[in-house]
Amino acid sequence: GYLAAGRGLNRYRKRQLALRAKLQKKRTKSAKRRLKARARKEARHAANQNHIISKTIVTEAERTGRGLSLEELKGIRNRVRLRKPQRVALHSWAFAQLADFIVYKAKRAGVPLVFIDPAYTSQTCAECGHVDKRNRVDQGLFICRECGVVAHADRNASHNIATRGESVWNAGRESRVPATP
């Protein structure tokens, strides 16, 4: 699992948020104009970051001869309930764009890719498969109630996504194999 968007990006977002707030408070014609320009600049920055992240992911998969499995994140904004600071981060991230970039770059590089259903990936133990809401202790910590394994929450979820991706991939392969007479 490659833990993508880093601290630098979050710092950038916070700064942009403050600048936007300052301009929005002014409510002048030139402030509105500056806000529009700022929005375009931020969109370009986000797209550029998405290109960098997707390229890193696809190149790594190609280099190690692996496939990719992505969560089907369409509708994530309606599914998850978050506190305000996380909501801001979630809504200012172009998930669909990142997924699109990964898809076209993977296709171009010939890297196999599958989409999986993300349901319960963060509550399931990657070791024993036990599912419990309480397994996810907090944002970054996963402790299984069944086998007691302690893991980084995102790392645990990414193992589950990888496993699901593998089974989806294998199921797809088997369904294409002609039946032996």
Break the chain into its structural domains and give their ranges.
Answer: 1-117, 119-181
User: Is 90 exceeded by the pLDDT of residue 147?
Assistant: yes
- Residues above pLDDT 70, as percent of the chain: 89
Which residue from 107, 109, 72, 75 is spatially nearest to 90, judged by alpha carbons? Answer: 75
Both tokens of 28, joined, read 């002048």
User: Is 80 exceeded by the pLDDT of residue 160?
Assistant: yes
Both tokens of 70, joined, read 């992505």
Cβ-based neighbours of 19, under 8 Å, separated by 6 or more: 38
**Terminal Cα-to-Cα distance of the chain (whole angstroms):** 41
To the nearest whole number, what is the mean pLDDT of the chain? 88
Predicted TM-score (pTM) above 0.75: yes
User: Is 80 exceeded by the pLDDT of residue 180?
Assistant: no
Q: Label residue 105 exposed, middle or buried (CB < 10 Å: 0-12, 13-18, 19+).
A: buried
Model pLDDT for residues 76-87, shown as the tens digit of each residue: 667 677 777 777
Q: Average of pLDDT values for 114-141?
A: 93
Q: How far apart are CA 124 and CA 131, in angstroms?
A: 4
* Strand bridging mode 136-138 / 141-143: antiparallel
Q: How far apart are CA 100 and CA 54, in angstroms?
A: 9
